[in-house]
Amino acid sequence: MLTQKGNSYPLKKSLRYLSIIMLFLTAIMAAKQRQSIEEWEKKTFLKQPPEKVMDTAGIKPGMVIGEVGAGRGRFTMHLARRVGPNGKIFANDIDADSLAYLRERCKRAGITNVKTILGEEIDPLFPKKSLDMIFMVWVYHYVKQPLPLLKNLPQSLKPGGTVVLVEPKPGLVYEGQDQGISPERMRRDAEQAGFTLVRTEKYLQEDFIFILHLSDQPVTFTQIPQIFPPTYTNHVGLGNFDGDGDPDVFVSFYGDGSNSIWLNDRK
Ligand SMILES: C[S@@+](CC[C@H](N)C(=O)[O-])C[C@H]1O[C@@H](n2cnc3c(N)ncnc32)[C@H](O)[C@@H]1O
């Protein structure tokens, strides 16, 4: 018997060789898998150029972004580089294996600003009120319960936060069903989830880019309707909160250096 004293050494040696061969084969298979995934990604980027898509979405250095359905990180890597060391990506998926691949991929690329989150079917489990943007590519048409998922997103956004979705245009038929998302469908779903569809970009060959804003955004100072010319007393009229077209708040600067804020409640 091989395990008898005197014969155990060749068995140990063979097992060691076998495990080295197994490790070697596993490494070759992993490298081949990586290569085919990343080659496929390159092809997809011909139709969804990541830099252009990120420009359209308004992604900038320092942003904190939640990516729903990040998968193996096709877009995540680009997002992470764009937001840079002062930004962060929370990469969500419900598939643990894809997230494990993504973590390993980030490690390989020296990317340290990505945190993976294993989510639930209708809740990505992002931290609350912390995201500048939620981004998803080829996810909304794919998930089982898109509207309940969309309804769970506002709680994670900071005030003024946006949701950007890249989704196939109608006409993409798979298993006898049109997988595309029309702007009408997106508008309806967005409204039910507390968002407004503010823009639909159509320039990609096969996909729409939908940009949603939270519906209850406060009126911002970019909506200043009236600035009086400089006089001894300057008044700046701000906002149109009641929708009557007139400024509702005035800030007055007086010649003696004092100032006041007053409400214009005349209808
Ligand atoms: C078509 S893939 C797109 C992956 C990646 N965004 C891309 O563009 O390459 C769809 C991804 O959504 C994930 N997914 C499916 N249902 C989900 C859900 N309810 N929440 C989060 N991710 C989900 C899948 O596991 C898969 O990784």
pLDDT in tens, 239-258: 766 656 666 676 766 666 66
pLDDT in tens, 89-123: 999 999 999 999 999 999 999 999 999 999 999 99
pLDDT at 223: 45
pTM (predicted TM-score): 0.76
**Which residues have C-beta atoms less than 6 Å from ligand 1?**
68-71, 74-75, 92-95, 98, 119, 121, 137-139, 142-143, 149
pLDDT at 266: 46
Cα(234)–Cα(251) distance, integer angstroms: 8
Q: Is the pLDDT of residue 231 over 80?
A: no
pLDDT at 21: 83
Q: Is the pLDDT of residue 267 over 50?
A: no
50-214: CATH class: alpha beta
Ligand 1 atom 4, closest CA: 71
Domain chopping of the chain, boundaries: 50-214, 219-267
Cα(151)–Cα(146) distance, integer angstroms: 9
What tokens appear for 63 in the block?
A: 């942003």
pLDDT at 73: 98
Ligand 1 pocket: which of 74, 142, 153, 165 to mutate (most atoms within 8 A of CB): 142
pLDDT in tens, 128-145: 999 999 999 999 999 999
CA distances from 192 to 144, 146, 166, 188, 255 (A): 17, 12, 19, 6, 50
Cα(211)–Cα(57) distance, integer angstroms: 7
